[in-house]
A and B are shown apart, each in its own frame.
Chain A
Amino acid sequence: MLSRVAESIYWMSRYIERAENVARFVDVNLQLILDQPTGMQAQWDPLVATTGDDEVFEDRYGEASREAVIKFLTFDTENPNSIISCLRAARENARSIRENISSEMWEQINDAYLMVTETSEEWAMAEPHQFFTDIKVASHLFMGQTDNIMSHSEGWHFCQLGRLIERADKTSRIVDVKYFILLPSVSHVNTPFDDIQWGALLHSASAFEMYRKTHGLIAPNKVVAFLLLDREFPRSVLYCISKAEESLHAISGTPLETFSNSAEQGLGQLRSEFAYAQVDQILHSGLHEFLDAFQTKLNDVGEDIYKTFFALRPVNGESTQSQSQK
């Protein structure tokens, strides 16, 4: 497979996943606010923090109001991580590799993009739940087509890799931000509101129902364990990096538990760290520090994927940055 094509597939898939994650946590926050005790300040800034773009946001919008945050994360074409920018980038990538993905996949991405460009901001603000649901469904349709139409060969594995690395990153950020906000609110501990807040965290990763089936009652450490360390839930960090590792090895042909390049080495180390971690130890030594370190290492893996598979062409002296496409 052409290096350029592999890179485009990887980013196409990452951007679709990113758009879906943004849609999901904005939607959850909107609903969460409906359940808030009256008189409590609505929290919108954590949402921006989750995307890691808080500085850009502050420069451009200042106060984190409902309207400003939704606009920034959804329709702002100048925010490279807004839903519309992600879908645009996904589509541009897809367009450059149309002959490598099926027509159905292309049409699905094109549809999703056209849908967002044709949606008026007023309508989206008035019917946010419907709008964000449409985005999530579009992403799921795309992933479903990818799984069911595309041969599970190299291209599909690059798709997996992009999607899973993006998802691992986003789940870890959601946990990081939410935990930071939820923990200090001692006054709410064991109140119904506390339960709702932790529930919302699970909803942000579409994990609520699966969590209930596994752990029943909501307890902060179990929520964190579920989102980071569960082996079966497909949005948990451990699940994502394990599957990403499998795809990486399927691409290179190197057996698991060995490595032939730095991407495999880095991801393998990261996966074992999670596989043998225990939630109470993580919480004890500092969740934020743990997740911060994780995100750095995951970025390095992205970097190594780039160097190993995509950079066979002369690089025009660009600086490397793993959170967005070169």
Chain B
Amino acid sequence: MTRFDGYKTDGFYDEMFFEDGSARPAVQMLVERISNFENGEFIRRQITAEHALLRMGITFNVYADEQGVERIFPFDLIPRIIDANEWEWIERGLKQRIHALNLFIDDVYHDQKIIKDRVVPADVVLSSERYLEQCIGLDPPHGIWCHITGTDLVRDGDGQIYVLEDNLGCPSGVSYVMENRQLMKRTFPQLFGMSQIQPVEDYPSRLLDMLQYLVSDRVISPVVALLTPGIYNSAYFEHSFLAQQMGVSLVEGRDLVVMDGYVHMRTTKGFERVDVIYRRINDDFLDPEVFKPESLLGVPGLMDVYKSGRLALINAPGTCVADDKVICSYVPEIIKYYLDEDIIVPNVPTYMCWEDDDRKYVLENLDKLVVKEANQSGGYGMLIGPHATRAEHAEFAEKIKENPRNYIAQPTLALSRVPVLIEDHFEGRHVDLRPFILYGEDIYVLPGGLTRVALKKGSLVVNSSQGGGSKDTWVLSGAV
């Protein structure tokens, strides 16, 4: 008799159970433990955990919601477990991917060899909204552009893991990874003692190491700052959390000023020089003199200091070009071109609407596909064909015909599921996984990452802005 009696996988790939209801090897102990809890004990712990989140103020902001500006990011106590072998494969795949993407970004802002060799069409790169001419010829420290990446992975119905997108902009969620872990340790201390779970707690130290690595050796004690848009940004909690964990200043644009060729912070004792900025604002807003002139979040003159080499920016401006969903679909070719290797973790198959054959297929099969704008994220600007109405299909068909370059389509994946506590029993809900990758002296992948879960029954959208929650992700270190 287990607490999971009556739990159904409903024909989906379940991260915990086989189709016949037996537990996968890596989770057997967890299932046993949970089954041993007294009636109501698990629910009680879930409620306690939610209360703790509110108390700790681990919240995100919902735009256009005046009264309850902050919400907790719903958290579910059942962890998502990844065994050592599978993780080893994922880790290798992500390192390969980031290595190649970095070479690609550096190339498109310099010699553009990959374009000249006709591996990626010039049109695709140069027409991307995220390709920034202002960044041509820039040489970031150590040639690294994408220092921090939060690649989204999904598992399809047959168990295959795919890369959905890379999130090279300002990927958020790593603070939840650490807070979720802390919460789980508090809630199930014995379970942690018994399992061999790879730690995530050293992320802030690794992040700080990476940030300091980017400063030239001439600077004796480098000053690092984290640049936030402010307390009303949806990820403000994370900005403040990371600054606190690293012991660096959390600054807003108005705290910074460019003077004498350096960036300075305004302090109670006058101006203080800053050497490294981990910026959590988008390229467009960084410097009103170079990008959007109306930006109030950035710092006028910032890019000049960056170009002169007296400031490191993380990620490097211009990096997001590789986030363009059309460019993203060329990653297998990009990896082959720069590394002469086959891609390890494959991309989700993608149809490019700017190619005639693909577009024809997409328009004929809108009811089966997920259509996305090339430059949108956060679950905005997309059509989930099977769940959409006829009118929505027609609307997207028009949009695609009007601006084919701006749309891609992918098959609707049967995202894998994990049990979630719904009232007093467990039900399967769809999940994805966002591992975090740091590129400094070498490439490091945080074991696990953020498992986001679509809490609405049947929903495939895991974004926090649209009813998503999260789970702790355990990467086991030993063989099962």
Contact = CB atoms under 8 A, between A and B. Distances in A.
Interface string A257-276: 00000000000000000000
B118 interface: no
A99 B244 contact: yes
A6 interface: yes
A96 to B, nearest CB: 5
Interface string B421-433: 0000000000000
Interface residues of B, number: 24
Nearest to A6: B268
B265 interface: yes
Contact of B240 (A98, A107, A312, A313): A98
Interface stretch (B18-26, B246-254, B279-287, B472-480): B246-254
Given A103-B56, A107-B57, A111-B55, A2 B267 contact: yes
Interface in A1-53: 1-6
A4 B255 contact: yes
A313 B249 CA distance: 17
A151 to B, nearest CB: 12
Given A4-B266, A100-B244, 9 more contacts: A2-B266, A3-B266, A3-B267, A95-B240, A97-B250, A98-B240, A99-B244, A114-B55, A312-B266
B54 interface: yes
Q: Interface majority SS on B: helix, strand, loop or mixed?
A: mixed
A313 B255 contact: yes
A53 B237 CA distance: 35
A96 B231 CA distance: 6
A95 B255 contact: no
B270 A312 contact: yes
10 contacts: A2-B249, A3-B255, A4-B254, A95-B240, A96-B231, A99-B243, A107-B55, A114-B54, A312-B270, A313-B254
B56 A1 contact: no
B247 to A, nearest CB: 8
A145 interface: no
Contacts, number: 63
Contacts of A99: 240-241, 243-244, 250
The 8 closest A-B pairs by CB, nearest first: A99-B244, A99-B243, A98-B240, A312-B266, A309-B268, A110-B57, A6-B268, A99-B240
Given A3-B255, A99-B243, A99-B250, A107 B56 contact: yes
A251 interface: yes
Contact of A313 (B241, B243, B250, B266): B266
Contacts of B270: 312
B267 A92 contact: no
Contacts of B55: 107, 110-111, 114
A134 interface: no
Nearest to B257: A313
A310 B266 CA distance: 9
B250 A95 contact: no
Given A99-B250, A110-B57, A92 B231 contact: yes
A3 B271 CA distance: 10
A179 interface: no
Interface size for chain A: under 10, 10 to 19, 20 to 34, or 35 or more residues? 20 to 34
Given A99-B244, A312-B270, A106 B254 contact: no
B57 A3 contact: no
A62 to B, nearest CB: 28
Given A98-B240, A154-B268, A312-B267, A2 B57 contact: no
Interface of B: 54-57, 230-231, 236, 240-241, 243-244, 249-252, 254-255, 265-271
Contact of B231 (A2, A95, A107, A111): A95
Contacts of A251: 268
Interface string A289-308: 00000000000000000000
Contacts of A95: 57, 231, 236, 240
Interface string A71-113: 0000000000000000000001001111110010011001100
A162 to B, nearest CB: 14
Given A95-B57, A98-B240, A107-B57, A1 B268 contact: yes
A97 B243 CA distance: 10
A3 B268 contact: yes
Contacts of B244: 98-100, 103
Contacts of A100: 244, 250
A295 B10 CA distance: 72
A92 B232 CA distance: 10
A150 to B, nearest CB: 13
B225 to A, nearest CB: 9
A98 B57 CA distance: 10
A315 B94 CA distance: 47
Nearest to A253: B269
